[in-house]
């Protein structure tokens, strides 16, 4: 066991057996090393069981029925919302809207708040490191409203150029929407400072917490953030559920986006009155069982502790950097480990990222290759695609060490092909 591992307060080996999938072999004799956590994480048995139990014992639609099962499902669904509230320290659980993921949360704000409030010439400030989920909805809103998009530029080493805020933030800025942790660079942005600066300029602030809420403590009241979005499937929960948090007065003033059952107080043939929060933004049958699974995931994360998780991932990413930096021809995108979470994206010689991923897969190492839904970011650094290893609480330093032989193999295979192919 290495020195780094001894100082870690989190022993991943104590948790790995909770995750059935982590003990499978990718092929006979090749164990799985799962480094694709920024795309989606794996599930502990108790999260899976919470959903199985719901289906086997309690399942019914929520907020509609009088019968016993409907009441039990209601209760489980409400408990899940309360777990979300406590996890991000929201003042009231009605401020936590269940969505279908971070993407749908951003689209709700763009369609609802955006359409109601933006006019030609208003500005939305984004950054050059955004996921497409935090670019395209604002581009669509700009098209509809005549608002203008601005972007905080990046430094060569993957940090936001905060001095640009002096000129980018003006009285025209109505919204600042940015990512707390980049899904490509791993950069942990100075969230508190950007929120404060945005508010000073009179703008609202939306935080894309898809990569931060699963990996570090989040306190929406301490941050004073106006909107926060995140996804269940990146924090040990199931896919198909996410959360939009918003300040109560904002959510109350916003018109509903999707219309349908569940979101109304009264409907006549030609008009409707919207319901109260959170129903107003949860038209149709919500992701009932996924939300319950997310609640179980939050219980699991709370027992380990978000600070311990963040610390453990810092150890992993520091080791990954040390290994990757020794590999000739390898270029890491993004800052040094002290500024980042457990994500490392890199390019290797002239080898395409998909080829790197394919060779690593032969050793059971699952990474992601491509533009990771951040094409403008890749353009900024003049790379078409990168290979990305991303870590979570169940990854070990021993697994990270396997990147070295895996990448050596990639170099051997492709240099041989180039020389003799």
**Which residues are marked as active site?**
373
By C-alpha distance, which of 214, 158, 172, 216 is closest to 339? 158
x-or-dash pattern for ligand PMP, window 235-274, by CB under 6 A? Answer: -------x--------------------------------
Beta carbon of residue 127, minimum distance to ligand PMP (angstroms, whole number): 11
Burial of 334 by CB count in 10 Å (0-12 exposed, 13-18 middle, 19+ buried)? Answer: buried
The yes or no reply on residue 174 touching ligand PMP (CB under 6 A) is no
Which residue, 253, 236, 346, 231, is CA-closest to 302? 236
Binding to ligand PMP (CB under 6 A) within 13-42 occurs at 38
CB of 36 to ligand PMP, least distance (A): 11
Should residue 396 be labelled a site residue for ligand PMP when binding is judged by CB under 6 A?
no
191 scored as a contact of ligand PMP (CB under 6 A): no
Task: Determine which residue in the list 83, 131, 280, 319 makes contact with ligand PMP, applying CB under 6 A.
Answer: 131
231 within 8 A of 297, measured Cβ to Cβ: no
Closest separation in Å from C-beta 23 to ligand PMP: 26
Longest CA–CA span in the chain (Å) reads 74
Q: Is 204 in the site for ligand PMP (CB under 6 A)?
A: no
Of the candidates 132, 39, 48, 131, the residue with the CA atom closest to the CA atom of residue 366: 39
Helix (H, G, I), strand (E, B) or coil at 47: helix
Under the binding rule (CB under 6 A), the answer on residue 74 touching ligand PMP is no
Would you tell me how many other CB atoms lie within 10 Å of the CB of residue 108? 24
Smallest distance from ligand PMP to CB 368, Å: 9
Range 349-378, binding ligand PMP (CB under 6 A): 373
Q: Does 133 bind ligand PMP (CB under 6 A)?
A: yes
The token duo for 269 is: 């043939």
Q: Distance between CA 19 and CA 394 in Å, rounded?
A: 9
- Which CB, 136 or 148, lies closer to ligand PMP? 136
101 is an interface residue for ligand PMP by CB under 6 A: yes
Whether the CB-CB separation of 343 and 183 falls below 8 Å is answered with yes
Considering the rule CB under 6 A, would residue 208 count as an interface residue with ligand PMP? yes
d(CA 203, CA 177): 10
Q: Which residues bind ligand PMP (CB under 6 A)?
A: 38, 101-103, 131, 133-134, 179, 183, 208, 210-211, 231, 242, 373
């Amino acid at each position: 066991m290495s020195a780094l591992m001894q100082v870690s307060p989190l022993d991943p080996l104590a948790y790995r057996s909770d995750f059935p999938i982590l003990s499978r072999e990718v092929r006979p004799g090749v164990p799985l090393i799962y480094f694709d956590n920024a795309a989606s994480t794996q599930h502990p048995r108790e999260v899976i069981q919470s959903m199985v139990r719901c289906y086997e014992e309690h399942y019914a639609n929520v907020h509609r029925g009088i019968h016993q099962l409907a009441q039990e499902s209601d209760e489980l669904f409400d408990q899940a919302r309360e777990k979300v509230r406590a996890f991000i320290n929201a003042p009231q659980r009605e401020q936590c809207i269940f969505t279908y993921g971070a993407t749908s949360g951003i689209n709700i704000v763009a369609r609802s708040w955006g359409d109601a409030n933006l006019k030609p010439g208003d500005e939305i400030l984004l950054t050059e490191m955004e996921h497409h989920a935090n670019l395209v909805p604002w581009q669509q809103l700009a098209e509809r409203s005549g608002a203008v998009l601005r972007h905080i530029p990046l430094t060569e080493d993957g940090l936001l150029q905060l001095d640009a805020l002096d000129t980018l933030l003006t009285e025209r800025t109505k919204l600042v929407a940015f990512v707390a942790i980049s899904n490509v660079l791993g950069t942990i942005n100075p969230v508190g400072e950007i929120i404060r600066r945005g508010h000073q300029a009179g703008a609202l602030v939306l935080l894309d917490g898809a990569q931060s809420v699963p990996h570090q403590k989040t306190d929406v009241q301490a941050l004073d953030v106006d909107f926060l979005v995140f996804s269940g499937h990146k924090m040990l929960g199931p896919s198909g559920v996410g959360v939009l948090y918003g300040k109560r007065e904002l959510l109350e003033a916003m018109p509903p986006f999707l219309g349908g059952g569940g979101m109304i107080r009264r409907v006549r043939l030609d008009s409707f009155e919207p319901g109260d929060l959170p129903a107003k933004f949860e038209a149709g049958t919500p992701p009932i069982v996924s939300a319950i699974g997310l609640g179980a995931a939050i219980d699991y994360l709370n027992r380990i502790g978000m600070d311990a998780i963040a610390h453990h991932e810092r150890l992993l990413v520091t080791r990954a950097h040390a290994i990757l930096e020794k590999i000739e021809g390898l270029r890491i995108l993004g800052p040094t480990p002290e500024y980042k979470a457990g994500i490392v994206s890199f390019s290797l010689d002239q080898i395409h990222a998909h080829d790197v991923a394919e060779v690593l897969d032969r050793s059971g190492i699952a990474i992601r290759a491509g533009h990771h839904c951040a094409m403008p970011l890749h353009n900024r650094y003049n790379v078409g695609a990168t290979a990305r290893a991303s870590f979570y609480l169940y990854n070990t330093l021993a697994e990270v060490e396997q990147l070295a032989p895996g990448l050596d193999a990639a170099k051997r295979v492709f240099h041989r092909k180039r020389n003799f192919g």
